[in-house]
Amino acid sequence: MNELKVNNLTKTYGEKTLFDAISFYIHDKDRIGLIGTNGTGKTSLLNILAGKDSGDGDISAIQQPSDYQIGYLSQDKEFNPELTVVEAVFQGDTPTIQAVKNYELALLALGEDGLSEAAQKQYAQAEERMNTEDAWTADTDAKIILQKLGIETLHKKIGELSGGQKKRVSLAQVLIESPDLLLLDEPTNHLDYEAINWLESFLNGYRGAILMVTHDRYFLDRVTNRIFELSFGKLHEYKGNYEAYIIARAERERVGVEQEEKRKQLYKQELEWMRAGVKARGTKQQARQDRFHDLKENLHQVHQKGQLEIDIATQRLGKKVLEIKAGSYQIEQKTILKDFDLLIQAKDRIGITGKNGAGKSTLLNLLAGRLLLDNGLYSIGETVRLAYYTQQNEAMDPNQRMISYLQEAAEQVRRIDGTTISVAELLERFLFPRFMHGTVIGKLSGGEKRRLYLLKLLIGKPNVLLLDEPTNDLDIDTLTILEDYLQTFKGAVIAVSHDRYFLDKTMDKLLVFEGDGQIVTYFGSMSEYLLGNKEESKKTIKYETKPIKETEKKEKKKLTYMEQKEWATIEADIAVLEDRAVLLAKEMNHQGDDFTKLQELQSELSIVEQELEEKMERWEYLSEFAEN
């Protein structure tokens, strides 16, 4: 059986201990989710397991079979920009991968010039090698992976691709290589919801082991069977998926606090005994003195995370916020918006999702005033104070200290209750302990920089938030608090995201980009949108009604007896369904991490809204003849 063993791995980074003699096994078929606050060492652990870094001291801390293969999807994977996509995705050195690469290159060459003798010879040799290596199944599997991840231009050079396309090429490469252990650092970043659904299914059937870092809690819940949590240098293991982890962690923390309290009480008793007097001291039992010293050394074993809070006040927002009228916009002859209307009002919660490359981030840039419409009108309210959380941080001086970076925005920050709080206190509430405040930005992890960047934006007291993929680099603890904050935020929030959990919890309206300027407006949750039939359960601005044949209209002059009875009660029926939909939506917002209950409510809401749509269609039909 293939397995990887880690024994007493230690790693320090400056004053911070990332791993304090941690140990664990990774077995075949393990599906492990790696969780921890930004800066606790998640990416560092992946780098060490992948051989890109090492722990302190003993190099034998990691043990694995000699033929054990590890594939690593890192956040900062770099390809030679001159490589074509096909050369990049087939970089594995196994005979099968090399055969598939040569075959795909030969196909491209033959496609460019089918009459070329050199191309024909190259293809014949490649086909022969495919037969020799029996690589046809591998080629088919590779093409499925590329197609599902939306990678179609195999001849393009890596340097011509966008950042999101490069990340998908990196993911395709590691999946195609099919190693014994997959290390995946945020695999769902830059994937649309269809690709995420496919990846869930692929990983559930994967032959080897998986260790992944991801912010996507639905993804964690559906793929993992073990959870590793990094906290204060220790690694805690949990059996089961993310939902099981949430329950087990709460219990572990409760028991830990209870045991710590008992140790403190016993220590207090033993301390009084030790201080009983000079004469009695000489007669004390040595064993009891030893127990006292052991107790003293083992106090404060329970480290509790700080309570991350966002309670920053916002500026008053008037009725007029943002509006686009008949807006059109193109990029390199690619239609993004076409006669598009959008009115954003105070307290709106609009999630923007859909296909990659369809223009979701472009819409945010238009709303932020960073781009101008080709045609149409854009207006912004006089009271709007806008903050734009982009996918890349603003320019940060790596030599600037954290606290001075925030002090550029404000020295004191007004809270929701009217009191003020210092920047130093705010940093502590945002899980940056006081000893870190003088740390230069260049020493922070990528996730810590993102958290700091978000904090600076919120200090400016915005009343309109534009968020571009906010879940990509924030840890789950930070995301949970951000989601709670958005639910009570008094302004408008517009967010681009593919994170289904985030959208379900924070947004009540979706703009689904389908490409070529086609944008569906949907009222409801992301899960509901995905569960329903896209064509039949869309709720656009106007309800789509079933056409009635002209002959039927002419022949029918009044309602039948049964239709009259139906007409008498149909408005009351609609009102009941509307009330039920509102109650279900409110109940969903209060479920927190109870995934099972949340999905039950989503299913019921989908049924109720389907019934409501049918009743509305029926009402429109009956109303045509009710007056006769």
Domain boundaries, the chain: 1-65, 81-179, 247-298, 320-537, 561-627
Mean pLDDT of 381-408: 87
Residue 12, classed as helix, strand or coil, is: strand
pLDDT for 482 beyond 80? yes
pLDDT for 351 beyond 90? yes
Q: How confident is the model at residue 341 (pLDDT cuts 50, 70, 90)?
A: very high
- From CA 349, how far away is CA 585, in angstroms rounded? 14
Topology, domain 320-537: Rossmann fold (3.40.50)
* DSSP-H helix ranges across 489-560: 500-506, 526-531, 550-555
pLDDT for 4 beyond 60? yes
pLDDT for 286 beyond 80? no
pLDDT for 554 beyond 50? no
- Side by side, the strands of the sheet bearing 334-345 are 334-345, 320-331, 375-380
- From CA 505, how far away is CA 525, in angstroms rounded? 8
Residue 488: the pLDDT is 81
Residue 540: the pLDDT is 42
User: Full-prediction pTM beyond 0.75?
Assistant: no
Q: How confident is the model at residue 57 (pLDDT cuts 50, 70, 90)?
A: confident
Q: How confident is the model at residue 86 (pLDDT cuts 50, 70, 90)?
A: confident
- From CA 178, how far away is CA 145, in angstroms rounded? 11
Of the ranges 219-233, 281-295, 588-602, which one carries the lowest mean pLDDT score?
Answer: 281-295
Of the ranges 98-112, 408-422, 562-576, which one carries the lowest mean pLDDT score?
Answer: 408-422
Q: How confident is the model at residue 599 (pLDDT cuts 50, 70, 90)?
A: low
Residues of the chain above pLDDT 70, percent: 82
Instruction: Count other Cβ atoms within 10 Å, centred on residue 388.
Output: 19
pLDDT for 399 beyond 70? yes
Residue 367: the pLDDT is 95
- Domain 1-65 matches domain 561-627 at the CATH topology level: no
Mean pLDDT of 23-40: 91
549 or 185: which carries more pLDDT confidence? 185
Residue 46: the pLDDT is 94
Please say whether the beta carbons of 245 and 238 come within 8 A: yes
Average pLDDT score over the chain: 81
Of the ranges 52-56, 264-268, 477-481, which one carries the lowest mean pLDDT score?
Answer: 264-268
Residue 109: the pLDDT is 84
- From CA 90, how far away is CA 96, in angstroms rounded? 10
Q: How confident is the model at residue 538 (pLDDT cuts 50, 70, 90)?
A: very low
Residue 546: the pLDDT is 37
Mean pLDDT of 305-321: 62
Distances (CA, A) of 433 to 10, 436, 554: 22, 6, 76
Q: How confident is the model at residue 228 (pLDDT cuts 50, 70, 90)?
A: very high
pLDDT for 312 beyond 80? no
Q: What is the dihedral of CA 495, 500, 501, 506, to 10 degrees?
A: 30
Residue 536: the pLDDT is 45
Residue 297: the pLDDT is 57
Compute the Cα dihedral for 96, 102, 108, 110 and give only its sign.
negative
pLDDT for 362 beyond 90? yes
Mean pLDDT of 162-190: 89
- From CA 467, how far away is CA 487, in angstroms rounded? 14
Q: How confident is the model at residue 580 (pLDDT cuts 50, 70, 90)?
A: confident
In this structure, whether the domain defined by 1-65 belongs to CATH 2.60.40.4070 is answered with no
Residues of the chain above pLDDT 90, percent: 24
Topology, domain 561-627: Helix Hairpins (1.10.287)
Residue 543: the pLDDT is 30
